[in-house]
């Protein structure tokens, strides 16, 4: 029988392998693979991989969805249907790489710090600089960012929304109660 230290090392290697192959916090409707514009750790796994034959089990917590190219209302409507089928709430989020409150919120969500507050939230994410024309066409307009909107049944922006934030360490604490109120039914 191998020594206990060898078994412990083997167990740790197996555990590390399982963790490395686990779910990420981000999903994508577009093709899998890294997007050079995404920050490190912003993975895009193939969420509907049917090659395994096993049912897809989605992790609880905040999940970012990068919907890809196309007409925004149609993309949001499709993501809304997916979220409803998974028992999740959906919010459309418009931010920018240069926006400090956006960065702080995004980082906190990616670290899992918002999972307890929002265990079943999917955030359809758009970048103001990259997607301005197409989000405006669907009514996702604001004077300030970040913008959080509860989409209507047609995928267009509803009146249920809030925009703006504060800079600094209070950014996430400023957004969280407003977001909680927005997703209440």
Which pLDDT does position 60 carry in this prediction?
Answer: 83
Higher pLDDT among residues 66 and 24, named by residue: 66
How confident is the model over 58-112, as pLDDT tens digits? Answer: 568 999 999 999 999 999 999 999 999 999 999 999 999 999 999 999 999 999 9
Give residue limits of the domains in the chain.
25-47+58-183
How confident is the model over 144-174, as pLDDT tens digits? Answer: 999 999 999 999 999 999 999 999 999 999 9
Write down the pTM of the prediction: 0.69
CATH fourth-level superfamily of 25-47+58-183: Glutaredoxin (3.40.30.10)
The Cα–Cα gap between 58 and 89 comes to 14
The Cα–Cα gap between 43 and 24 comes to 7
């Amino acid at each position: 029988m191998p020594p206990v230290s060898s078994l412990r090392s083997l167990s740790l290697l197996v555990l590390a392998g399982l963790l490395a192959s686990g779910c990420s916090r981000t999903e994508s409707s577009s093709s899998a693979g890294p997007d050079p514009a995404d920050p490190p750790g912003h993975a895009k796994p193939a969420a509907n991989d049917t090659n395994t034959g096993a049912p897809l089990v989605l992790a609880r917590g905040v999940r970012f969805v990068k919907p890809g190219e196309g007409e925004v209302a149609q993309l949001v409507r499709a993501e809304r249907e997916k979220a409803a089928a998974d028992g999740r709430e959906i919010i459309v989020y418009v931010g920018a790489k240069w926006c400090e409150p956006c960065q702080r919120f995004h980082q906190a969500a990616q670290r899992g710090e918002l999972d307890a507050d929002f265990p079943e939230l999917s955030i359809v994410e758009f970048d103001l600089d990259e997607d301005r024309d197409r989000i405006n066409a669907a009514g996702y307009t604001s004077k300030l960012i970040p913008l959080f909107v509860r989409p209507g049944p047609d995928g267009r922006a509803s009146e249920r929304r809030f925009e703006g934030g504060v800079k600094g360490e209070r950014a996430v604490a400023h957004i969280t109660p407003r977001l909680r109120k927005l997703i209440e039914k």
